[in-house]
């Protein structure tokens, strides 16, 4: 009788162990399935992304911070995360740290107003574009360059742009006779340089320029698009895409499938909404 009881106890323990292990495996699988999508951005590049103190307009809390992030990139990140069925986590990084973060695997992707330039493509993969941004110049309305009709009219002017961007590395050198000053660390810094009179004009993309006019109504956009005296740029220079690790082609494919459900009209509407609610507009 004792042998029967002992055998029954052993069987019960075995069954319990199997169920416990199965439960742990199921829990682990469940946790893996809802692993947050870690998206990196500057959180300081309106209207693409910025930092604010509350969750108004649908802002998302920044990881390891009491602040929140919002802007066009956050809107897009929310759409991507929802499409993937994963919670969203925004990671705030400096511009130069974005690509290395993807390469190291500390974030899943970057959604930060990035262009898929050939140099960046050597380091990370890019999705299809989630915005198309023409390149323009910004000057002040009282500047001697305010009536410029093309790049040749900017000859002799002093200028700058943001560090590590095609605006600074590729576009400004195309302006013959331009006095190119050291690059600024951020988009807000280059706007301050222009507003303070340290430079005659800066180079940026159209959304950034449109957002700047809200804070600096004394500025004027110089767009030479459609003329023979414009910047020479490839399509990849004006495309804005998400960067993903080369080790994760499945994620690139999944994001592309989500983007395929949207079109340029959707992008322009979202960008207009972002510009309306950016902190500088309030």
Give the confidence band of 7 by pLDDT, cuts at 50, 70, 90. very low
124-141 confidence digits (pLDDT tens):
999 999 999 999 999 999
pLDDT at 33: 57
Tallying the residues shown for the chain, one arrives at 282
159-179 confidence digits (pLDDT tens):
999 998 999 999 999 999 999
Mean pLDDT of 9-35: 49
Extract the tokens encoding 172: 């400004």
What distance in Å separates the CA atoms of residue 207 and residue 49, rounded to the nearest whole number? 11
Q: What does the DSSP assignment read for 82-140?
A: HHHT--EEEEE--GGGHHHHHHHTSSSEEEEEE---HHHHTTSEEEEEEEE--EEEEEE
In the chain, % of residues over pLDDT 90: 80
- 3-state DSSP assignment of residue 204: strand
Asked if 126 and 120 touch (Cβ cutoff 8 Å), the reply is yes
CA gyration radius, the chain = 25
228-261 confidence digits (pLDDT tens):
999 999 988 899 999 999 999 999 999 999 999 9
Domains and CATH numbers, the chain: 35-133+236-281 (3.40.190.10), 135-224 (3.40.190.10)
Output DSSP code: residue 233. -
Over 60: is that where the pLDDT of 153 sits? yes
Per the omega criterion (within 30 degrees of 0), is the bond before 275 cis? no
pLDDT at 215: 87
């Amino acid at each position: 009788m004792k042998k029967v009881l002992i055998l029954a106890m052993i069987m019960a323990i075995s069954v319990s162990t199997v169920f416990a292990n199965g439960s742990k495996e199921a829990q682990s699988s469940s946790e893996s399935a809802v692993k947050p999508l870690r998206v990196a951005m500057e959180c300081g590049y309106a209207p693409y992304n910025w930092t604010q103190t509350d969750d108004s307009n649908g802002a998302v809390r920044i990881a390891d911070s009491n602040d929140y992030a919002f802007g066009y990139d956050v809107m897009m990140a929310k759409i991507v995360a929802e499409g993937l069925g994963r919670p969203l986590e925004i990671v705030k990084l400096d511009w130069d740290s974005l690509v290395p973060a993807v390469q190291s695997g500390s974030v899943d992707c970057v959604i930060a107003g990035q262009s898929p330039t050939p140099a960046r493509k050597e380091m990370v993969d890019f999705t299809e574009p989630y915005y198309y941004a023409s390149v323009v110049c910004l000057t002040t309305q009282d500047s001697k360059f305010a009536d410029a009709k093309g790049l040749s009219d900017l000859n002799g002017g002093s200028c700058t742009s943001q560090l590590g961007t095609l605006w600074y590395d590729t576009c400004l050198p195309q302006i013959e006779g331009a006095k190119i000053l050291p690059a600024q660390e951020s988009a807000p810094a280059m706007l301050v340089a222009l507003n303070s009179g340290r430079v005659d004009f800066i180079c940026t993309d159209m959304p950034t320029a449109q957002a700047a006019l809200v804070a600096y109504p004394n500025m004027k956009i110089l767009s030479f698009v459609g003329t023979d005296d414009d910047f020479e740029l490839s399509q990849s220079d004006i495309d804005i895409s998400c960067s993903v690790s080369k080790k994760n082609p499945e994620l690139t494919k999944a994001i592309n499938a989500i983007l395929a459900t949207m079109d340029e009209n959707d992008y322009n509407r979202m960008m207009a909404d972002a510009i309306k609610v950016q902190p500088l507009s309030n």
